[in-house]
Structure 1
Amino acid sequence: MALKLIVFSALALASAYAGILPVAFESPVAPLAIHTKIVDPNHDPHPQYSYSYDVHDAHTGDIKNQQETRDGDVVQGSYSLVEADGTRRTVNYVADPLNGFNAVVHKEPAHVAYHAQPAILTHAALPTTYIDTGDYVPTKYVYQH
């Protein structure tokens, strides 16, 4: 009987120090992701630019020019070049969201045929004569299975 009393008091003492055990464990809740719209501070809602350039190189015969302007979503421009036969090709184009890209090509006849300067050809000196010293012996190749 004393043994039962010792076992019972040990169980009571152990359960007193065991604490409260939960029925189920819950996983930690992740914080909600809030979708925020990222706005670029450098974004221009109505972009505008304009540029042009000309090239006239008599040495290579490269003659061309281009100009382009943008106002919002509409881009207008043109470029022209002198082709090898001396004709001038001009392309005028417009690009907008409604009609897309549209180009009109004009070809003007050559007034004076333009000829680029001919290339200057130089020939390298021929190598000196070959002197056989007899040091080189060609290898005999043998084909075997």
Structure 2
Amino acid sequence: MTIDTGWLDLPASVSDDEVRLDKGVAVTRITSRYESPRQVRAIHDSPGRTLTIEFRYFGGQEATRHVRFSGIVVGEVGKHSHRIYSLVFNPVSAEAGFQTMIERAVCDLQSAIESARFEVSEDNSQATNNVISRVVKPELPKAAMAAG
């Protein structure tokens, strides 16, 4: 069975600015709206054991290149912006539940991006992780329930 969340519009708050203390000084890291996805969709293909997550940005589509982040994570990254346009996790299994599958995917993605840091914009990788954790994680189970 294939489960598709459809394109979900993202609120600006999904990529909240990061505030941290550095030697007693509050430092705010502001993520550009061009680094943050404006839409996302997730597609889980049970027979193929894949989870595909696609992103859309302000400024539209650009030429992309194929990047193998790790043995189980591949994606399409903007040639100029280094924004992530799609991620494919293979293999994945929803046997332990969609929440667990997404948590594993986020962990896989974080470690994969660490090893391929030069391939992806740092702000975009943080925004992408936020979107997966805050939007895809709760929406994929809803789409599965709606699909029956």
TM superposition score category, shorter chain reference: under 0.3
Larger Rg over CA atoms: 1
TM-score, normalised via structure 2 length: 0.24
Higher relative contact order (CA 8 A, sep 6+): 2
Q: Whose helix proportion is higher, 1 or 2?
A: 2
